[in-house]
């Protein structure tokens, strides 16, 4: 794979860019995430989102509803900013190091995706003329998930004298808020109260509890300074400052290593004891060994998720940067999942959405299926809460997953574009089936997946009804958030149908297995219900317009007014920030793919002509105001042989964070977009589909590239796919031979297979 370092020279010191860099250079490992604020801070008038987060660690917070309508959400969950362990202040005699004063001679920031570290280098001249080089390396360890380290090197160039270091461990923290952006929390509150702050064996501990969720977190920090001459701790109830002194000599490096570990009560019994043992574990090996473990972990990750673009180095690097963010963001246990911003910021308050199943899980399913298992296990953990949610919304049976959540309860305050998105049930079911099709891991389906598929299927039976011989699902919202509360949303109905069909299939496939029978008994699943599932699936109503030969997004979509989006002033995008929702709902205008997404994931449910016409229709009216949009259009364009378009959508989308294209990367990176871009290569250009009938490829090659290669994992086999101008090669690295389908023709893959590449491709050809 390509270049492993993303770097920025000459750090821009304006506030906006610093906020974006806090997200772009953050460190995370799926458990903890630390935004990349300067250790020494910014000037007082600067804004910072100086966050450290734990995946899935939350508090409850009130959410105002103007009217007390039954069932609306009054309390949501928010991911908490936990103790700040990144502060380090350096004093050279009486001068404090700050790159906002004096002169910056050289500066740079980088993230090394092979080593799993970020770095900052500054060559600085103080106002009084002291020259010094500072290099800071930070790591959130994949080897030990509780651990975050800072290696801080100081090289005095032209002076000697006293150096004083203040290393802070601060439990007095708040979350970020922005009352002007609905994608952020709207008020600030002190969620965490430190209840003890103490020093033990040279380490500081802060133990805090949440205001309402009854959770606890303990952080422990220990500093090691080379050539240390003196040390003292200054502590109060919420802050522990370790003051250390040493001597500067020209050319002689001073090194501070700061270890921070976290333990939270979601995962462990006794946070203080665990924090102490985690610190002991971290210190039992050298920092160099920890770096080595980090590199080893990533070497395996890159091998499994290998993808390389040949002939466009910049894009290849952006891709690698993006995929690094996915492994940084995804939880490695069932207590967490993956949030739209990962652990890089507070946008969407760290809650989990359908983004996980439909945009990110596909990547893990074909590269690291163990991670998909853990994401599904999270959904299994909150299944009971989803059943409670279904009850709250008036359903007599089944489970309804909340649209956005951390611990399983609904968090969306605005239900038309939130709780009404029932398709999340179908998304979760779809992703479990996708896992099954790619792995054939029936044991796991039996253990966790099937129950979710039955409970979500049950819900469709309760929300929908038979009318005139067809099954209808009314008053729901599809993925497009500019069209809300509609009847028969095509995407929702198509997925519900798939969900029901698979509930029936799994039932017949597993009904004789003892474990399955136990579960069936426990959830009281009857044969009559299965018969009803079958009937509803067969009679599912899928909107179709005879005249346009497209699938309308829902029953009323085509009746609505047209709005030529080219006439809307650029400054009014995203429309959600400039128009009342009702205004948007009355137009044929889409925030993101809805029917187009259904056509991608369930491509056999419509004839090619309908898919082609629908693409042309929705393309004109989609604003791509969501970062989840362009990647899907790219995949669909690839499928339709619209190669230039496919490439254009892909290119615009891949650098979304690195170029801050949506102007909100400061709130965090966009993980669904990243997963979607990966899909745009593998499913889009590569044409991969994994179906019940087997594995399919139909590769195209973007004109600008000389080739691309990727590795996927399919039913315990590792397959490398390589595309060049003239050929497609498939190589089975491990596992049994298998039949694969390329450009609609079947081949036996037993070793290496080379096929001439089709130069132009209309998929119906």
Catalytic residues, which ones?
A: 481
DSSP state of 729: E
**Residue span binding ligand BGC (CB under 6 A) among the ranges 103-111, 121-129, 325-333, 350-358:** 350-358
- Give the chain's largest Cα–Cα span: 89
DSSP assigned state of 562: P
Q: Cβ–Cβ contacts within 10 Å for residue 668, how many?
A: 32
Q: Is 355 in the site for ligand BGC (CB under 6 A)?
A: yes
54 touches 217 (CB < 8 A) = yes
Specify the stretch interacting with ligand BGC by CB under 6 A; choose among 313-321, 347-355, 390-398, 541-549. 347-355
Burial (CB count <10 Å: 0-12, 13-18, 19+), residue 475: middle
Which region among 21-29, 68-76, 352-360, 580-588 touches ligand BGC (by CB under 6 A)? 352-360
Single out the segment in contact with ligand BGC by CB under 6 A; choices: 8-16, 35-43, 353-361, 596-604. 353-361
Q: In this chain, which residue has its C-beta nearest to ligand BGC?
A: 340
- The contacts of residue 590 (CB under 8 Å, 6+ apart) are 480, 482, 483, 553, 618, 621, 622, 623
Rounded to the nearest whole angstrom, what is the least distance from the CB of residue 678 to ligand BGC in the complex? 16
Minimum separation from the CB atom of position 585 to ligand BGC (A): 14
Binding string, residues 573-602; x marks residues near ligand BGC by CB under 6 A: ------------------xx----------
Choice between 182 and 737, CB closer to ligand BGC: 182
Subset of residues 126 to 155 that bind ligand BGC, contact rule: CB under 6 A: none
Q: Are strands 694-697 and 738-742 parallel, antiparallel or unpaired?
A: parallel
**Residue 491 is a binding residue for ligand BGC (CB under 6 A):** no
Given CA atoms 520, 526, 532, 534 in this order, what sign does their dihedral have? positive
Angle at 33 between CA 32 and CA 35, to 5 degrees: 155
Is the CB of residue 382 less than 8 Å from the CB of residue 451?
no
Q: How does DSSP classify residue 449?
A: I
CA angle (511 as vertex; 505, 512 as ends), nearest 5: 135
The reply on whether position 353 binds ligand BGC by CB under 6 A is yes
> How many residues line the site for ligand BGC (CB under 6 A)?
12
Q: Tokens representing 48? A: 């910072």
Shortest Cβ 669–ligand BGC spacing (Å): 11
Q: Which is nearer to ligand BGC, 316 or 667 (CB)?
A: 667
Shortest CB 480 distance to ligand BGC, Å: 8
Give the contact letters, 659-678, x = binds to ligand BGC (CB under 6 A), - = no: -------------x------
User: Which value, in Å, is the radius of gyration of the alpha carbons in the chain?
Assistant: 27
**Nearer Cβ to ligand BGC (479/722):** 479
Output the smallest distance, CB 417 to ligand BGC, in A: 8
Stretch that binds ligand BGC, among 105-113, 233-241, 351-359, 497-505 (CB under 6 A): 351-359
Rounded Cα distance between 137 and 556, Å, is: 56
Nearest-10 crossing angle of helices 450-463, 490-510: 130
How deeply is 546 buried, as exposed, middle or buried, from its count of CB atoms within 10 A (0-12, 13-18, 19+)?
A: exposed
Residue 289 CB, nearest approach to ligand BGC (Å) = 38
Near ligand BGC by CB under 6 A, which window of 256-264, 349-357, 744-752, 756-764? 349-357
Asked if residue 84 lies in contact with residue 168, where contact means CB atoms within 8 angstroms, the answer is yes
Q: Which residues 420-479 are close enough to bind ligand BGC by CB under 6 A?
A: 479
Does residue 406 bind ligand BGC (CB under 6 A)? Answer: no
Distance in Å, CB of 672 to ligand BGC, minimum = 5
Among 97, 205, 335, 348, binds ligand BGC (CB under 6 A): 348
Provide the minimum distance between the beta carbon of 685 and ligand BGC in the complex, in angstroms, as a whole number. 24
Q: How far is the CB of 629 from ligand BGC (least distance, A)?
A: 8
Q: Which residues does residue 122 pair with via DSSP β-bridges, in sequence order?
A: 107, 134
Q: Which of 6, 57, 176, 354 binds ligand BGC (CB under 6 A)?
A: 354
Task: Among 626, 636, 638, 665, indicate the residue that binds ligand BGC (CB under 6 A).
Answer: 626
Q: Which of 340, 345, 426, 686 binds ligand BGC (CB under 6 A)?
A: 340
Q: Which of 21, 481, 532, 554 binds ligand BGC (CB under 6 A)?
A: 481
**Is there binding between residue 489 and ligand BGC (CB under 6 A)?**
no
DSSP result, 338-374: --TTTTS--GGGG-B-THIIIIIHHHHHHH-HHHHHH
Window of 211-219, 220-228, 348-356, 537-545 that interacts with ligand BGC by CB under 6 A = 348-356
Comparing CB distances to ligand BGC, the nearer of 112 and 427 is 427
Of the listed pieces 86-94, 270-278, 346-354, 486-494, which binds ligand BGC according to CB under 6 A?
346-354
Does the footprint of ligand BGC cover residue 628 (CB under 6 A)?
Answer: yes
Q: Which residue, 338 or 761, is less far from ligand BGC as judged by CB?
A: 338
For residue 241, count CB atoms less than 10 angstroms from its CB and return exposed for 0-12, middle for 13-18, buried for 19 or more: middle
The Cβ of residue 3 has, within 10 Å, a number of other Cβ atoms equal to 15
Q: How far apart are CA 87 and CA 41, in angstroms?
A: 7
Ramachandran category for residue 273: left, alpha or beta (phi over 0 → left; psi -120 to 50 → alpha): alpha
Burial status of residue 347 (CB atoms within 10 A of its CB: 0-12, 13-18, 19 or more) = buried
Looking at the Cβ atoms of 210 and 623, the one nearer to ligand BGC is 623
Residue 11 Cβ vs ligand BGC, minimum distance, rounded to whole Å: 29
Measured CA to CA, the distance from residue 379 to residue 316 in angstroms comes to: 33
Cβ 343 to ligand BGC, closest distance in Å?
15
Nearest to 411 by CA among 514, 340, 459: 340
Q: How far apart are CA 403 and CA 355, in angstroms?
A: 10
Q: Closer CB to ligand BGC, residue 291 or residue 353?
A: 353
By beta-carbon proximity to ligand BGC, the closer residue of 118 and 636 is: 636
Residue 551 main-chain phi, psi, to 5 deg: -95, 110
Alpha helices, DSSP H, located in 511-557: 514-522, 527-538
List residues near ligand BGC by CB under 6 A.
Answer: 340, 348, 353-355, 479, 481, 591-592, 626, 628, 672
């Amino acid at each position: 794979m390509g270049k492993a370092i993303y770097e920025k020279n000459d750090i821009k010191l304006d506030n906006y860019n610093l906020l974006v860099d806090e997200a772009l250079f953050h460190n995370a490992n799926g458990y903890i995430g630390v935004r990349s604020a300067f250790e020494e801070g910014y000037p007082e008038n600067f804004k910072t989102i100086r966050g450290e987060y734990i995946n899935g660690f939350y508090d409850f917070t009130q959410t105002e509803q103007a009217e007390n309508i039954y069932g609306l959400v009054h309390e949501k969950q928010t991911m908490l900013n936990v103790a700040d362990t990144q502060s380090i202040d350096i004093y050279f005699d009486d001068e404090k190091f700050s790159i906002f004063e004096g002169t910056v001679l050289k500066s740079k920031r980088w993230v090394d995706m092979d080593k799993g570290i970020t770095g900052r280098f500054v060559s600085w001249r103080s106002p009084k003329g002291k020259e010094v080089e500072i290099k800071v390396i930070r790591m959130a360890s994949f080897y030990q998930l509780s651990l975050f380290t800072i290696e801080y090197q100081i090289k005095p160039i032209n002076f000697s004298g006293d150096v004083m270091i203040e290393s802070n461990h601060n439990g007095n923290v708040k979350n970020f808020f922005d009352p002007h952006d609905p994608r952020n929390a709207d008020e600030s509150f002190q969620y965490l109260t430190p209840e003890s702050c103490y020093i033990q064996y040279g380490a500081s501990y802060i133990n805090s509890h949440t205001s309402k969720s009854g959770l606890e977190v303990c952080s422990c920090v220990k500093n090691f300074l080379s050539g240390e001459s003196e040390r003292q701790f200054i502590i109060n109830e919420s802050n522990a400052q370790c003051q250390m002194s040493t001597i500067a000599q020209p050319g002689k490096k001073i090194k501070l290593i700061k270890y921070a570990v976290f333990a939270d009560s979601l995962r462990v019994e006794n946070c203080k004891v665990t924090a102490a043992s985690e610190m002991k574990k971290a210190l039992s090996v050298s920092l160099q060994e920890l770096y080595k473990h980090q590199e080893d972990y990533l070497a395996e990750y890159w091998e499994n998720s290998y993808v390389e673009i040949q002939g466009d180095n910049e894009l290849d690097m952006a891709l690698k940067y993006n995929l690094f963010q996915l492994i940084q963001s995804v939880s490695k246990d069932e207590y967490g999942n993956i949030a739209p911003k990962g652990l890089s910021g507070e946008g969407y308050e760290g809650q989990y959405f359908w983004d996980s199943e439909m945009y990110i899980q596909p990547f893990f399913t074909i590269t690291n299926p163990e991670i998909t298992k853990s994401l599904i296990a999270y959904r299994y953990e909150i299944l009971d809460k989803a059943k409670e949610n279904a009850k709250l919304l008036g359903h007599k049976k089944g489970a309804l997953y909340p649209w956005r959540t951390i611990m399983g309860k609904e968090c969306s305050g605005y239900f038309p574009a939130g709780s009404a998105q029932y398709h999340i049930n179908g998304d979760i079911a779809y992703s479990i089936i996708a896992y099954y099709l790619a792995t054939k891991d029936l044991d796991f389906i039996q253990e966790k997946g099937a129950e979710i598929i039955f409970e979500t299927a049950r819900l469709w039976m309760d929300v929908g009804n038979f009318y005139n011989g067809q099954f209808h699902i009314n008053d729901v919202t599809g993925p497009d958030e500019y069209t809300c509360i509609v009847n028969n949303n095509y995407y929702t109905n198509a997925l519900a149908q798939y969900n029901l069909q698979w509930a029936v299939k799994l039932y017949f496939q597993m009904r004789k297995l003892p474990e399955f029978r136990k579960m069936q008994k426990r959830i009281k699943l009857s044969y009559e219900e299965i018969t009803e599932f079958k009937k509803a699936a067969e009679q599912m109503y899928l909107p179709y317009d005879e005249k346009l030969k497209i699938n309308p997004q829902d029953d009323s979509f085509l009746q609505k007014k047209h709005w030529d989006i080219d006439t809307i002033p650029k400054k009014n995008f995203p429309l959600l920030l400039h128009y009342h929702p009702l205004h948007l709902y009355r137009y044929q205008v889409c925030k993101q793919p809805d029917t187009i997404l259904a056509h991608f994931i369930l491509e056999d449910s419509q004839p090619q002509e309908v898919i082609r016409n629908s693409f042309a229709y929705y393309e004109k009216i989609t604003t791509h105001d969501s970062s989840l949009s362009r990647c899907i259009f790219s995949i669909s364009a690839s499928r339709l042989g619209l190669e230039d378009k496919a490439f254009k959508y892909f290119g615009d989308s891949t650098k979304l964070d690195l170029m801050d294209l949506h102007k909100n990367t400061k709130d965090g990176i966009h993980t669904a977009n990243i997963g979607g871009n990966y899909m745009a290569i593998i499913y889009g250009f590569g044409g991969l589909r994994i179906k019940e009938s087997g594995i399919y490829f139909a590769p195209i090659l973007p004109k600008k590239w000389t080739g691309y290669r990727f590795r996927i994992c399919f039913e315990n086999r590792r397959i490398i796919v390589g595309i060049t101008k003239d050929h497609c090669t498939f190589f089975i690295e491990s596992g049994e031979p298998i039949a694969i389908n390329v450009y609609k023709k079947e081949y036996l893959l037993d070793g290496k297979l080379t096929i001439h590449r089709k130069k132009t491709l209309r998929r119906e050809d």
